[in-house]
Amino acid sequence: MKDTNQNGRKHVHVACAIIEREGLVLSARRSASMNLPLRWEFPGGKIEPGEGREECLKRELVEEMGVEIAVGCPLTPTTHRYPSFDVTLYPYVCSIVSGEITLHEHSAMTWLPPERMLELEWADADLPIILEYQRRKQG
């Protein structure tokens, strides 16, 4: 879902998946041709008009990685202001229920333990989500 905020800036609403498997978390690296090139992110995508967040996540993961996911608990949505647009991320802890990951849009992926996630160069909007996720895992 795209809209503009009060001062006419583009504002994008994105659902993202924190995919867990065997104590590890999936990180995906944006391709060189994408906005925020080669930064790491949680997979997901723009919420289409009339589409629910969980529905968006399931659609995006099939499109981007060829897997079906189970959507679990939500984390706190976060909004970040990039120089040319604003983004609100709606994160959910998820798991893969079927399929093998095939990267259709990203240039790389890796599975990391939660405590090592910050070793990667993440998109700025994802950082508060990582910190909240790590706090929950430690608690």
Q: Assign 3-class secondary structure to the chain.
A: CEEECCCCCEEEEEEEEEEEECCEEEEEECCCCCCCCCCEECCEEECCCCCCHHHHHHHHHHHHHCCEEEEEEECCCEEEECCCCEEEEEEEEEEEEECCCCCCCCCEEEEECHHHHHHCCECHHHHHHHHHHHHHHHC
Domain count within the chain? 1
**pLDDT tens per residue across span 39-48:** 999 999 999 9
Average pLDDT over residues 4-24: 88
CATH of the domain at 75: 3.90.79.10
Average pLDDT over residues 88-94: 98
Contact (Cβ atoms closer than 8 angstroms) between residue 96 and residue 58: no
**pLDDT tens per residue across span 67-83:** 999 999 999 999 999 99
Q: Rounded mean pLDDT of the chain?
A: 94
- Domain of residue 126 covers 2-138
The confidence band for 51, taking pLDDT boundaries of 50, 70 and 90, is: very high
Q: Is the pTM of this model over 0.85?
A: yes
Percentage of the residues of the chain whose pLDDT score is greater than 70: 94
